[in-house]
């Protein structure tokens, strides 16, 4: 982009990208502006994995150049593109470790579809046994939360068993959750993925881990345009730069959103208009995000209750619990990472849509699972059968945890179920199950039985629809 303005002296070219900087003091008065535009532009360019440069001649004007990496569309379907791009994975040995049997089956099926040689196990101890005695693996998928050993500890144990030759590992973790970085984490984990794992994201992570990832920008430039599904989004954020950054991230994802500057304005906005999702900064003037969330939870019920995502730079112990206790649905630490925002909003819109949906199962997810079975009808039947078998046992385990007021066990059981729910597409089960997990973490047993009863009702509806959809797939 070029202009024919006053130009910029060579010795000031580097300064103009600094916050609140003008070429000279009189520029603000003569031309207006705050000195933030180029700072924001530079940050947005970097978010997209690109750069912004300037050349200028005083008295002649300036030229700004933005460069990003982007894929050209080739007209192929997404599934065909994935099969083509997965060619380097053929024949690769992969270790898959996940204690959730539904998720384990789906990951195993996906690896087979891409021509890999998977070994799938449900515990860290089984994984270590294979690492010690089986042929070397070329890559590993490791779940973060497992009963016998967390995924981070398993990765460290694999590295100790195979020092210098351990396979690159991809960590699977709940959306919005971050692992406290430890020394060597950059070596142990080639990538981190939010669950439920989408095929495209899994493929990108595996290609990157194996060193055959294309030379792309850190944040993928070719982003799937999101389906907002009629769900209105509100952003409550008081910082002007953060407002611009989050708005640009949302636009890049294909979302439209309204923005307010504090919690009081957020409450007033929801009184005027129904917003399905609220991205809520925690620390704001006039009314903070915690108080605004409490008021919204008292004001709205049923189908009108918004899905509230906390955003805060204070990623301290207890912050997540404080946000959840106020009634927030999930938590995004600042600075908000683009891929985490994408996953969180997809989950939020799916949850809001599910609340309004007359169906208990997402038929598109069943079709996706059927398509991933490579024509083997038994694979889809197996996945559904595992889900229908394990959920009643998990519901009973949750009931027992509530009976003995064991919050840790309740949260762990709900977490396990959430993984299965996301994998199978049981839309309406997610909301009561998420509440159970939150109540377990907070020790809120007074309303846990009601949440469990709601979850059991939604499971019965999901069971009936799964059996029908399974027959049609």
Tell me the pLDDT band of 25, cut-offs 50, 70 and 90: very low
Hunting for tokens 């992570």 — which residue is that? Answer: 205
SS3 category, 41: helix
CA distance 247 to 266: 16
For 363-373, how does the pLDDT look when each residue is reduced to its tens digit (9 = 90+)? Answer: 777 777 776 65
6 class by beta-carbon count within 10 Å (0-12 exposed, 13-18 middle, 19+ buried) = middle
The stretch 73-88 carries a mean pLDDT of: 71
pTM of the model: 0.55
450 or 71: which leads in pLDDT? 450
Question: Smallest Cα–Cα separation from 363: which of 246, 472, 215?
Answer: 472
How far is residue 292's CA from residue 296's CA, in Å, rounded to a whole number? Answer: 6
CA–CA–CA angle 128, 133, 134 (5° rounding): 95
Look at residue 452 and tell me whether its pLDDT is greater than 90.
yes
Q: What is the C-alpha to C-alpha distance for residues 352 and 356, in angstroms, rounded to an integer?
A: 7
In degrees to the nearest 10, what's the CA dihedral of 51, 212, 155, 180? 10
- Residues whose CB falls within 8 Å of the CB of residue 81, separated by 6 or more in sequence, listed in order: 74
Cα 184 → chain centroid: 24
CA distance linking residue 91 with residue 213, whole number of Å:
17
Q: E strand or H helix at 432, and its extent? A: helix 430-442
- Looking at residue 170, its pLDDT comes to 93
Average pLDDT of the residues of the chain: 81
Q: pLDDT per residue over 105-123, tens digit each?
A: 889 988 888 888 999 999 9
Which residues, including other chains, have CB under 8 Å from residue 4's CB and lie 6 or more apart? 60, 61
* Domains, in order of start, for the chain: 10-67 (3.30.565.10), 78-209 (3.40.50.2300), 233-338 (3.40.50.2300), 363-472 (1.20.120.160)
Asked whether the predicted pLDDT for residue 20 surpasses 60, the reply is: no
Tell me the pLDDT band of 176, cut-offs 50, 70 and 90. low
Res 119: pLDDT: 92
Question: 463 to each of 105, 132, 158, how far by Cα in Å?
Answer: 19, 40, 39
Torsion of CA 175, 112, 381, 229, to 10 degrees: 40
Predicted confidence (pLDDT) per residue in 208-246, tens digit: 888 875 544 333 333 444 556 678 899 999 988 888 889
Model confidence at 316, pLDDT cuts 50, 70, 90, reads low
Beta-carbon contacts of 136 under 8 Å, excluding residues fewer than 6 positions away, are 93, 162, 165, 167
pLDDT band at 360, cuts 50/70/90? confident
Q: Please give the share of the chain, as a percent, with pLDDT higher than 70.
A: 83
User: 468 CB contacts (<8 Å, ≥6 apart)?
Assistant: none
């Amino acid at each position: 982009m070029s202009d024919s303005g006053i130009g910029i002296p060579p010795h000031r070219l580097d300064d103009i990208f600094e916050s609140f900087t003008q070429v000279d003091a009189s520029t603000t008065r003569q031309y207006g502006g705050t000195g933030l535009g180029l700072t924001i532009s530079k940050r947005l360019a970097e978010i997209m994995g690109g750069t912004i440069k300037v050349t200028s001649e005083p008295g002649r004007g300036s030229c700004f150049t933005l460069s990003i990496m982007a894929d050209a569309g080739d007209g192929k379907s997404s599934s065909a593109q994935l099969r083509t791009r997965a060619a380097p994975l053929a024949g690769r040995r992969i270790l898959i470790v996940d204690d959730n049997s539904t998720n384990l089956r789906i990951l195993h099926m996906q690896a087979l579809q891409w021509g890999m040689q998977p070994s799938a196990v449900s515990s860290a101890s089984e994984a270590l046994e294979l690492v010690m005695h089986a042929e070397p693996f070329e890559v590993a998928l490791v779940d973060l939360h497992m009963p016998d050993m967390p995924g981070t500890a398993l990765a460290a144990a694999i590295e100790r068993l195979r020092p210098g030759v351990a396979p690159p590992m991809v960590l699977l973790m709940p959306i919005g959750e971050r692992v406290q970085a430890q020394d060597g984490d950059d070596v142990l984990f080639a990538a981190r993925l939010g669950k439920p794992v989408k095929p495209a994201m899994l493929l990108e992570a595996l290609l990157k881990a194996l060193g055959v990832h294309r030379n792309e920008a850190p944040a993928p430039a070719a982003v799937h345009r999101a389906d907002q599904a009629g769900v209105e989004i509100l952003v409550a954020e008081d910082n002007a730069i953060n407002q611009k950054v989050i708005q640009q991230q949302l636009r890049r994802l294909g979302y439209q959103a309204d923005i307010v500057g504090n919690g009081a304005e957020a409450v007033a906005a929801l009184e005027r208009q129904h917003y399905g999702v609220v991205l809520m900064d925690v620390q704001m003037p006039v009314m903070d995000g915690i108080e605004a969330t409490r008021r919204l939870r008292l004001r709205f019920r049923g189908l009108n209750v918004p899905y509230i995502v906390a955003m805060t730079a204070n990623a301290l112990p207890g912050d997540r619990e404080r946000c959840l206790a106020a009634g927030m649905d999930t938590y995004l630490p600042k600075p908000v990472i683009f891929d985490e925002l994408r996953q969180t909003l997809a989950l939020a819109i799916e949850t809001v849509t599910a609340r309004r949906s007359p169906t208990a199962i997402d038929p598109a997810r069943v079709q996706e699972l059927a398509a991933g079975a490579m024509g083997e009808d038994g694979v889809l039947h197996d996945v559904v059968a595992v889900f229908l078998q394990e959920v009643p046992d998990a519901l009973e385990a949750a009931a027992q945890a509530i009976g003995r007021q064991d919050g840790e066990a309740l949260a762990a059981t709900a977490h396990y179920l959430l993984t299965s729910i996301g994998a199978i597409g049981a839309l309406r089960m997610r909301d009561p199950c998420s509440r159970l997990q939150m109540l377990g973490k907070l020790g809120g047993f007074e309303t846990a039985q009601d949440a469990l009863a709601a979850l059991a009702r939604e499971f019965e509806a999901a069971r009936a629809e799964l059996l029908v959809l399974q027959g049609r797939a």
